[in-house]
Amino acid sequence: MLNKITEKFKGDRKYFSIVFFILIILAVSGIITESFLNNAKDNWSNILTGEISKLQISVESDFNKKQNDLEQKLDIVRKDLRKSLAPENESYKEIVKLINDDIFDGYSIEIFAPNGKLIAWNQVIAIDQNELFPLSFPLGETYFLSKDLLYYLAIIDTTHLQSDIFYISISTPIEEKYKINNQYSKNISFKSELISRYHTDLTIDYSPFAEHSKDGRIFSFELLNTKSNKIGMVSFTKPLLSSYVSQIKDTASKIQSLLVVLALIFVGLGLNNDFKKLDSYLFKLFLLIVYLSALRAIIFAVGFPSNFINGPLSDPSYFSSAFAWGIVKSPIEFLTTVLFITLLAIQIFRYTKKFLNSSKALNHKFVGYAISVVLSVLIFLILRGLSASIRSIIFDSTIRYFKEPNILPDLPSVVMNFNMLLISFSSVLAIVGLLNLIIKYVNLNIQKLSKINLSLILLSVAIIIFASFYSSKDPLINPVELLIFVALLFFLYYQITFKNKNSVYNYLFVLLIGSVISISLLNYFNTKLERESLKTTAIEINRADSNLLSFMLDETLRDVKSRNDIVKIFGDRYANFDAMAFKIWAGSPMQRESLNSGIRFYDRFKNVIGEYFVGLNPDKKIFNYLSNEDEINIVELEKKEDIANKYYAALIKIEERGITKGYVSAFVCFDIKSIGAVNYPDFVESNLSILNRVIDVKQLKIFQFNGTQLNQVYGDIYPSRDQIKKILNTKVDSLYNDAWLKIRFDSENYETYLIRIFNNGSSITTTVAIEEKAFSWNLFNFFKIFIVHSLFIIIAFIIILISRFRKYNPSFKSKLLFAFLVISIIPVVVLALYNTKIVGERAKEGIKNELSQRANYIEKHLTSQLEKNKNRNIETASENAARELGISFALYESTDQIYNSKDIYNRIGLFDRKLNPKAYYHLTYLRYQEYVASEMLNNYKFDSYYRVISVKDKDYILSVNDAFNKIKVLFSTTEINVIIFGIYSFAVIIIIIISTLFANQISQPIQRLTEATDAVSKGDLNIKINHKEKGELKDLFDGFNQMTSELKKNQIELAEMEREAAWKEMAKQVAHEIKNPLTPMKLALQQLIISYKDKSKDFDKLFEKVSHTVLNQIDNLNQIASEFSRFAKMPSLKIEPVDMFSVLNDTVNMFMHEKASIIINTKLTNAIVDADLSQLRRMFINLIRNAMQAEATSIRIDLKLDNNKYIVFLSDNGKGINENDKEKIFDEHFTTKKQGMGLGLSMAKRFMESINGKIFLKDSSSQGTVFEIEFPVKNNS
């Protein structure tokens, strides 16, 4: 019974059995789903309780992990602090060093002396020394610490040293109170983590006084610290029955969809063997296209994989195309589609390669030429399709591939780069497959194809491709790139078809060429997109009218009016209105568009109580412009005719129960000179601005004319009179009033977009120009993407090595390749790392020198002021220096900041007023005179230069950073690293390819010689190594061929000599043996004759006796003749069980490096026959060798079992056997070869007859020859 069941899971049956079980599971899942739904409806109250409890436990578990991590860090600090406070340490130097260790990154740690003085700190200070007492929470208990911009999870504890008590505060951010749109924001939010993880809308009140929700639809539970004391409250909406039912249905739908996909895959696997039996490659390809297309369509229809993966990969905001009803609507969907295309392209390449080497051919050359023309056009269409795909990757994506700040991009960019590489890889493979078909259809033998003929064919294909290009309305590619791509493709085809035809490493060549083509297209279309962005920029500049700016102000203040915390803050005497202004501004559309703007708070007496501005310093008398304070009032503050400079303000009254609590105003200004966020610090600049999405606005040159008057200029170039004349005289399109032109500034060409707007009889002309990309910049873009592609190519190389590891044999070739790679790549990697290190050090040194120079200006300016004005204090002098020098800086007395030119960022809480702890450590304890500290604000990295200065005999610490003092560098460290790693990545790929080629070139002749020697050892003396080598290898191969010829000749001569000697010896033996019976026969006959003559009476008796003697001797002679006959049948066969399938494989492997393609086609895994192993192998060698000598390029061996017989069909596409010779081929000594002996087929026939088998010629024509060989199956009895 068990055997019958297991039989169902053998061969292809197992796949259909799996499909059957999947269908059963699919049906059962529907029943189970319905059961779950009914159960949910009947027991919803119990399920609801369980769901609430499960969510509560999960949230508490996540929160406890954070508490435990915080307490573990506290234990580490407490333990090491006792050592640092040992009596032998006279200062707090070791404490400062301790808490600034890297293991405490992400934590704020403060150490307080017994008197409450802050003696050591790290990073951003969460609790200052004036905030320690009174304690907010009992010692040793975690609690939520509320700051202006953040909530912290904090804990304060003590450690004792002798009689002193030191206080330790450690905190970690848990929730940001603001959200800013840029790449530097960490977006720290415990609430968002929970919402994302549990897909539930919830809120967290970080207050120990929070109350439970009174809304019955909301469930609340307390957040407890490790001492089981309440520190916060979590509230979430209770699950609804309808939502729970939808979730069950959705889960069931996903499972069923996955089962359907698996069933389809297993159906394909089950039909795989039947698929392989098909002879027509074209039909197989058609079926494969149908199957893969249907499978992809069904996978898309069931929502796989987008519905199963949450995150950026399934987010259509990164990439989404309307192609094929949205089948590539997200990066992961694009990847799925590309994987199917890649699989199809690989099969196209494999099938066409087999078809190229097959014996099949068209009967009519004209048809072949016609098909080749169509295929050439199809090559152009594939290139155009690839271009369209790359264009979509650029235009349908929000990812800016060349603007990524890091060498290695984020996950969506990596996946899109992988998609791009795969689609180009597939296109190149498909084109190579089409070239295989073209070569085949022009009826040329691939083995006889000369380089001249190949060049003519490829030239013809290129002509047709360019004819298609020029006849296409929108080819999506320029002719220069097309010429380069075609040249690369033809070079690749020559390499993988003629030079390195059987190597799996050909796929690496295809990946490399595909990468070059795709990156070139990506750069080309990115340039097109940048060109379009000029148009977008010009339109946006002219769109910044009063309606747009008013809308921004209105939206901002309506959001303010709807917030409950705004009313509360006016009643808080300790409220930080500057921080609140920043939080409102950070979430406003003004920040999103990076416009000069700000927010200001007023008390009920209209006095300013807090503000935050970027790029503006508005008049504080806004109430002079506004009369009605009950609604949102919007007014233009400075009325100017120039539409490019608009300044608007809005005001709203904040009331509670009819009582005025205060006012909030918002300001926004649009000025061409300030676009591109030139007044913004990088860490608050938006990454969502329309003007900055595609291209760096700082690279643009913008000119705006009011009539003929130049009003506004953006950039460092001022147009000349001739250039102004050219701009104003440019004719615009009658429909869109725009035009494109080229302007030359300082010997550089600029692509320029012009738009002209007519208003009340006057015209506003806006031109936006960008410098045309130089070759060096295109090279930079190429290497930026190629770094990512090279990683994929190297991974592919490693995968190939691992896949071949099981078959790994430490051959000469592998050792040579490994040596080449080690010797070549290690120095390249070392150089890359060294150069990167040098570049980084020089960049830091350059920043240090620049900041140091600015610090020199400040120090000299302060000294000069205070010498001239003895009564002026240091704060006033610092303010004057910052204003007059235009340099932002901070000044510290001891560790406390006494002046900061950007004090607003201290007031809102983004920066500390305390000296950087590492600067404090180096300047105070190590006595450095200057120090450069690398600092971070969220994910924004910047460098701060600190120096001890002496003013009026008093020491201060001066700080200058590049967060507010932007340093212009020709190339950033990242850009230089891109060039370095790009060049070295390209070098590594080239080294891998060249090393592989060299290893093949060196080892292949040796491998061929080894295989030929092995063939000789197995008795094949007909082998000859055909070669085109020169030098020592030529001498070696010629010597080997001469040696085999001499061996064959000597073998023939030796055989003749041995036969002659054997015959002579045998003649002697036979003569001797024959003489023995002849003598008594002669004597008997003589006696009989005498008796006859004498007419003896006893003649009859004597006759009987003589007859008996003669007959006996005749028997002896017959026995001698039989012995002689047996001797003539030498050599004797050694009959034993032999696996013919294994013998065939071994024999084919002997010819693996020959030009002919040899394929074994069978379902059998073994074929046991009774035969002589050496004679069997020799027979197959002779048959294959005969086929090759008949100029066959494709040899097929079919092995099957039929009626207790193994039948072998050996067919080739050689020139065939003449009709007159077909009857003679098995005759001994018959041959059509000049140097043949005519023994091969006759010996094969004699051998087959000796083992009760058969061999005969089944068919032969000019298209090829087929031999049929029959073997009896071994009788196991």
Q: Specify the pLDDT at position 1180.
A: 84
pLDDT surpassing 70 at residue 638:
no
pLDDT surpassing 90 at residue 356:
no
The CA distance from 1022 to 866, in Å, is 104
Q: Specify the pLDDT at position 205.
A: 94
Write the single-letter amino acid at 301.
Answer: A
> Nearest 10 degrees: CA dihedral of 199, 205, 206, 211?
-130
Looking at per-residue pLDDT, the higher value among 641 and 480 belongs to 480
Confidence of residue 511 (pLDDT cuts 50, 70, 90): very high
The CA distance from 240 to 218, in Å, is 11
Q: Specify the pLDDT at position 806.
A: 60
In SS3 terms, 550-602 reads as HHHHHHHHHHHHHCHHHHHHHCCCCCCHHHHHHHHHHCCHHHHCCCEEEEEEE
To the nearest 5 percent, what fractions of the chain are helix, strand and coil? 55, 20, 30
Structural contact between residues 892 and 807, judged by C-beta atoms closer than 8 angstroms: no
- Rounded average pLDDT over 588-602: 91
365-395 vs 451-471: helix axis angle to the nearest 10?
50
Q: Specify the pLDDT at position 1236.
A: 47
The CA distance from 409 to 423, in Å, is 20
pLDDT surpassing 50 at residue 177:
yes
pLDDT surpassing 90 at residue 377:
yes
Give 841's contacts (C-beta < 8 A, 6+ positions apart). none
Strands of the 896-900 sheet, one edge to the other? 896-900, 890-893, 954-961, 940-951, 930-937
How confident is the prediction for the chain on average, in pLDDT? 82
**Strand ranges, E, within 17-56:** none
Q: What percent of the chain has pLDDT over 70?
A: 82
Structure tokens at 691: 């003007």
pLDDT surpassing 50 at residue 1130:
no
- Rounded average pLDDT over 746-768: 86
The CA distance from 885 to 887, in Å, is 5
Q: Specify the pLDDT at position 432.
A: 93
User: pLDDT digit string (tens) for 639-694?
Assistant: 554 444 678 899 998 888 888 899 999 999 888 877 877 788 888 988 777 666 77
pLDDT surpassing 70 at residue 165:
yes
pLDDT surpassing 80 at residue 173:
yes
Q: Specify the pLDDT at position 867.
A: 87
User: pLDDT digit string (tens) for 239-294?
Assistant: 888 888 888 888 888 888 888 888 888 888 888 777 777 777 778 888 888 888 88
Confidence of residue 1153 (pLDDT cuts 50, 70, 90): low
Q: Specify the pLDDT at position 299.
A: 83
- Rounded average pLDDT over 327-353: 89
pLDDT surpassing 60 at residue 4:
no
Q: What percent of the chain has pLDDT over 90?
A: 25
Handedness of CA 1041, 1045, 1048, 1054 (dihedral sign): negative
- Rounded average pLDDT over 363-389: 89
User: pLDDT digit string (tens) for 1226-1246?
Assistant: 776 556 554 444 556 777 888
Structural contact between residues 1272 and 1202, judged by C-beta atoms closer than 8 angstroms: no
Looking at per-residue pLDDT, the higher value among 221 and 476 belongs to 221
In eight-state DSSP terms, residue 922 is: I
The CA distance from 1063 to 1083, in Å, is 30
Q: Specify the pLDDT at position 243.
A: 84
Handedness of CA 971, 974, 978, 980 (dihedral sign): positive
Looking at per-residue pLDDT, the higher value among 1094 and 463 belongs to 463
User: pLDDT digit string (tens) for 50-76?
Assistant: 999 999 999 999 999 999 999 999 999
Give 847's contacts (C-beta < 8 A, 6+ positions apart). 932, 943, 962, 967
Looking at per-residue pLDDT, the higher value among 637 and 906 belongs to 906
Among 532-536, 1083-1087, 1184-1188, name the most confident range.
532-536
Structure tokens at 235: 């509230």
Structural contact between residues 428 and 514, judged by C-beta atoms closer than 8 angstroms: yes
Q: Specify the pLDDT at position 642.
A: 47
pLDDT surpassing 90 at residue 108:
yes
Looking at per-residue pLDDT, the higher value among 223 and 1155 belongs to 223
User: pLDDT digit string (tens) for 1031-1088?
Assistant: 666 777 677 777 777 777 776 677 667 666 666 766 666 665 666 567 667 767 777 7
Instruction: List Cβ<8 Å contacts ≥24 apart for 1153-1157.
Output: 1153/1004, 1153/1007, 1153/1008, 1153/1011, 1154/1188, 1155/447, 1155/1026, 1155/1193, 1156/447, 1156/1187, 1156/1188, 1156/1192, 1156/1193, 1156/1194, 1156/1195, 1156/1212, 1157/354, 1157/357, 1157/1193, 1157/1194, 1157/1195
Structural contact between residues 1154 and 1188, judged by C-beta atoms closer than 8 angstroms: yes
pLDDT surpassing 60 at residue 1089:
yes
pLDDT surpassing 80 at residue 421:
yes
Structural contact between residues 1084 and 1106, judged by C-beta atoms closer than 8 angstroms: yes
pTM exceeding 0.85: no
Q: 3-class DSSP state for residue 383?
A: helix
Q: Specify the pLDDT at position 330.
A: 87
